Amino acid sequence: MIELIQFPWSPYCLVQRRILEFGSIPHHVVNLPPSDRSLVWRVTRHRYDQVPVIRQGRTVLFETGPDSQVIAKYLDVQFKLGLFPDTEAGLQDLLWRYIEDRIEDCTFRLNDAFYLEFVPEAEQLNYLRWKERKFGRGCLKQWLDQQRELGAELARRLQPFEQMLSRRPFLLEERPRFVDFDLYGMLANLLYSGHPKLPRAHTRLGRWFQRMSKTRLSDFNP
């Protein structure tokens, strides 16, 4: 069985968890407190301190770079999920870089603004300090105050995906590929606290998100 080591609201963990669910792959989830990476450090033999990490027997996998997609490609090969077809090579690389840069840059801020509602109380001070060291003092309060502006910017950056869905049910084809799961993870992170919403004008994207929430590999490979 695969073990997924994660933070529940991490967009990158949400990507991998949805892939595991899509493939009906038996898995066990281990949720870490944000301030304690000791398990990750231990299982990766002191080579990594971020999430997600997956472990299958003696095999431990984690990302080797900002654009590596090691975990998703491993799951794709092991379980024949069809996430990285040769016909979309190159195009998916461009799209996931945009998703993990321009989309995630808005979604995590909008969600983190409500950290008091989903970060355990004992972890909140460490979470605040960690965010402020990276993004500046008062960043979480600033993002809370900037919800309208951040939401408008996110809607603008999502417009290409709304257009891509005008003639097909998924971003590239009649079935989901990796970039569908990647975008799903960023938007699932946006919605995690229950406060931010998907842009109201992007109706196709809203319907696509509902499809992505429940689609299974068996829908395409009976």
Q: What is the CATH number of the domain that holds 33?
A: 3.40.30.10
Residue-number span of the structural domain to which 102 is assigned: 86-219
Indicate whether 62 and 122 sit together in one domain.
no
User: CA separation (Å) from 126 to 95, 107, 121, 122, 133?
Assistant: 33, 21, 10, 8, 10
Instruction: Work out the number of other CB atoms within 10 angstroms of the CB of residue 12.
Output: 21
**Using CA atoms, how far apart are residues 140 and 112, in angstroms rounded to an integer?**
7
Give, for all 222 residues of the chain, the pLDDT tens digit. Answer: 999 999 999 999 999 999 999 999 999 999 999 889 999 999 999 999 999 999 999 999 999 998 899 999 999 999 999 999 999 999 999 999 999 999 999 999 999 999 999 999 999 999 999 999 999 999 999 999 999 999 999 999 999 999 999 999 999 999 999 999 999 999 999 999 999 999 999 999 999 999 999 999 999 976
Question: Model's pTM, two decimal places?
Answer: 0.97
Largest CA distance in the chain: 53
**Using CA atoms, how far apart are residues 39 and 32, in angstroms rounded to an integer?**
8
Among residues 44, 79, 114, the one where a domain terminates is: 79
Indicate whether 105 and 162 sit together in one domain.
yes
Backbone φ, ψ for residue 146 (5° rounding): -100, 20
